[in-house]
């Protein structure tokens, strides 16, 4: 098992955001956490990636392990050393830096500059749109290009697990398709992927398994086809 969260509960002060939630990501899996706003999926992701203290949250019960090692409470930069990389909601590229400089920032934990250069070259092969704009400041890119840059930047750290928070947010339909096709390609090359996504139809077109959140709990889990076929979910989560 690559990532395993068990019995996870999260509070923001007196507000309970997650209650006894468990989920896992196996080797080379593509897993989605789905559900409406306020369902708890983003809190689950923040618990995994060490961001809860930054938003006033805390884990009150449960464990999070990566390859059997406890990681709850580690900072996001410490997780990179465990080969866990986050593509944050809203992308958060360095807007005043060029595309190439953003990619170089993705390799800040890598001691070998030659290795960083090689990984940047591989990332640019995956995203040829970025290769053509390597000297362009990230702030001048479209939202879709910025999302590609955020993913490419994470890949420079050579993650075993790539985590993406709302990768479709603010993107055009064409850009959403492009980003998810690239995520599928990355997954096909052996990198496990965990995403939080509100566009359930898009997520279920690409992931292998998913967990459906509501009111701080996991209410359904299963492979993509089982969830697509589950009529009870459609009124709440699938727009049916």
pTM of the shown model? 0.94
pLDDT of res. 5: 98
Separation of alpha carbons 106 and 208, rounded Å:
27
Counting Cβ atoms within 10 Å, is residue 97 exposed (0-12), middle (13-18) or buried (19+)? middle
CATH number of the structural domain spanning residue 40: 3.40.50.300
pLDDT of res. 235: 65
pLDDT of res. 226: 92
**pLDDT by residue (tens digit) across 92-130?**
999 999 999 999 999 888 878 888 999 999 999 999 999
pLDDT of res. 236: 57
The whole-number average pLDDT for the span 142-171 is: 95
pLDDT of res. 237: 57
For residue 132, pLDDT beyond 70: yes
Phi, psi of 42 (to 5 degrees): -70, -35
C-alpha closest to that of 165 among 143, 198, 205, 120? 198
- Specify the number of domains making up the chain: 1
Counting Cβ atoms within 10 Å, is residue 183 exposed (0-12), middle (13-18) or buried (19+)? buried
- Lowest-confidence range among 33-37, 105-109, 134-138, 216-220? 105-109
Give me the chain's average pLDDT, please. 93
**pLDDT by residue (tens digit) across 46-94?**
999 999 999 999 999 999 999 999 999 898 889 999 999 999 988 899 9
For residue 156, pLDDT beyond 70: yes
pLDDT of res. 227: 92
Separation of alpha carbons 1 and 67, rounded Å:
6
Show the domain range for 219. Answer: 3-238
For residue 161, pLDDT beyond 80: yes
DSSP E strand boundaries for 88-201: 161-165, 192-197
pLDDT of res. 208: 97
Q: Give 222's contacts (C-beta < 8 A, 6+ positions apart).
A: 209, 210, 230
């Amino acid at each position: 098992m690559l990532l395993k969260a068990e019995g996870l509960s999260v509070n923001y002060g007196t507000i309970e955001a997650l209650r006894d939630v468990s989920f896992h990501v196996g080797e080379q899996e593509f897993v989605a956490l789905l559900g409406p706003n306020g369902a708890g999926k983003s809190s689950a992701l923040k618990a995994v990636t060490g961001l809860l203290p930054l938003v006033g949250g805390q884990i009150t019960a449960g464990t999070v392990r990566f390859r059997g090692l406890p990681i709850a409470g580690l900072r996001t930069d410490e997780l990179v050393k465990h080969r866990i990389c986050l593509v944050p909601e809203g992308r958060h590229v360095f807007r005043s830096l060029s595309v190439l400089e953003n990619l170089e920032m993705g390799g800040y934990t890598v001691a070998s500059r030659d290795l960083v250069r090689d990984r940047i070259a591989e990332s640019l092969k995956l995203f040829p749109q970025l290769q053509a704009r390597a000297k362009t400041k990230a702030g001048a890119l479209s939202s879709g290009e910025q999302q590609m840059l955020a993913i490419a930047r994470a890949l420079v750290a050579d993650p075993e697990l790539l985590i993406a928070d709302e990768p479709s947010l603010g993107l055009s339909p064409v850009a959403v398709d492009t980003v998810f096709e690239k995520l599928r390609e990355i997954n096909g090359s052996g990198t496990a992927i965990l995403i939080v996504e509100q566009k359930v139809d898009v997520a279920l077109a690409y992931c292998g398994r998913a967990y459906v959140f509501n009111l701080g709990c996991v209410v359904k889990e299963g492979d993509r086809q089982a969830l697509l076929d589950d009529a009870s979910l459609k009124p709440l989560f699938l727009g049916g």
